[in-house]
Amino acid sequence: MTINIIGSGKVAFHLSKRLHACGLTIRQIYSRQLDPALQLATAINAQGISRWKDVQADGVDLIIIAVSDQAIPEVAKALAKHLPNPPLVVHTSGSSPLHWLSDVLPRTGIFYPLQSFSWGREPNFAEIPMCIEAQHPADEKLLLELGQRISQKVQLTTEADRKTLHLAAVFVNNFVNELYQIGAAILAEKQLPFDLLLPLIQETAAKVQAQAPAEMQTGPALRGDLATIERQLDLLEAHPEWRELYGLMTGLIRG
């Protein structure tokens, strides 16, 4: 299978490297800036380009759009304009609709890796759920087979499924990481290292993989320990936003 990648950010970087490592041919990497495209292309034996007129479709089975959500419609229109006979085109977004592609392109789908990607960290793609959607059965089959080349967890989803998964992911990933930042700041004010919380964080993550999150809750809110709650609210007087959040979370836990 021969693939072109549109984008050179974190998702494009990690996905293209995984595809290449699994024996797929990446022909081109497109980026608005040539240098990032060339850097990524060099690592996977591809061609780096930065002009739409240079994007090739002949002999290409799939084009993967891995750009920011807001850029997807613009990219889809550019491909439709410059490619008279485009292959299957997919995007990797969890929250963006398929119609951003299907409004202007004949064969479209979704190839969404349900994971948070960062520079400098190698993701374990075998464990990343790949969420698949396509307009046509043949394209769905192609995407399922591709997903199975790079991951052990491939799931057919509807657009509603994917949006629900992305919403849940925001809660368990983005919001939780913000809470980590607040915890780190609270400790830093007293010159205490964040490392002291790592065993607790790791234990919490391990427990929710074995039992339902609702069964794993502990702490003063669950116990109804009002004295401890009041003392901790007092400690947050200098940070009204954190104090408000503490009260909101306590109320949710207490029900």
Regarding whether 125 and 73 lie in a shared domain, the answer is yes
Q: Which helix (H) or strand (E) holds 25?
A: strand 25-30
Overall residue count recorded for the chain in this entry? 255
Band the pLDDT of 107: cuts 50, 70, 90: very high
Please indicate, yes or no, whether residues 30 and 91 belong to a single structural domain of this protein: yes
| Contact (Cβ atoms closer than 8 angstroms) between residue 30 and residue 3 | no
User: Are residues 32 and 151 located together in one domain of the fold?
Assistant: yes
Residues 80 and 20 in one domain: yes
- Please state whether the predicted TM-score (pTM) of the whole model is above 0.75: yes
How far apart are alpha carbons 66 and 92 in whole angstroms? 6
CATH number for position 174: 1.10.1040.20
130-166 pLDDT, tens digit each: 999 999 999 999 999 999 999 999 999 999 999 999 9
Is 138 in the same domain as 187? no
User: Residue 64's beta-bridge partner residues?
Assistant: 5, 90
What are the structure tokens assigned to 247, written together? 């009260």
Q: Which of 157, 186, 205 is the last residue of a domain?
A: 157
Same domain for 75 and 143, yes or no, is yes
Do 202 and 143 share a structural domain? no
Predicted local confidence at residue 135, as pLDDT? 94
Q: What is the DSSP letter of 17?
A: H
Beta carbons within 8 Å of 172's beta carbon, 6+ residues apart = none
Please provide the average confidence, as pLDDT, over all residues in the chain. 97
**How many domains would you assign to the chain?**
2
pLDDT 10s digits, 195-250: 999 999 999 999 999 999 999 999 999 999 999 999 999 999 999 999 999 999 99
CB atoms within 10 A of CB 43: 14
> End of a domain among 131, 157, 183?
157
Range of the domain at 181: 163-254
Are 170 and 144 in the same domain? no
Looking at the structure, tell me whether residues 233 and 108 fall in a common domain.
no
Q: Quick one: average pLDDT of 58-74?
A: 98
Show which of 125, 157, 189 is a domain's final residue.
157
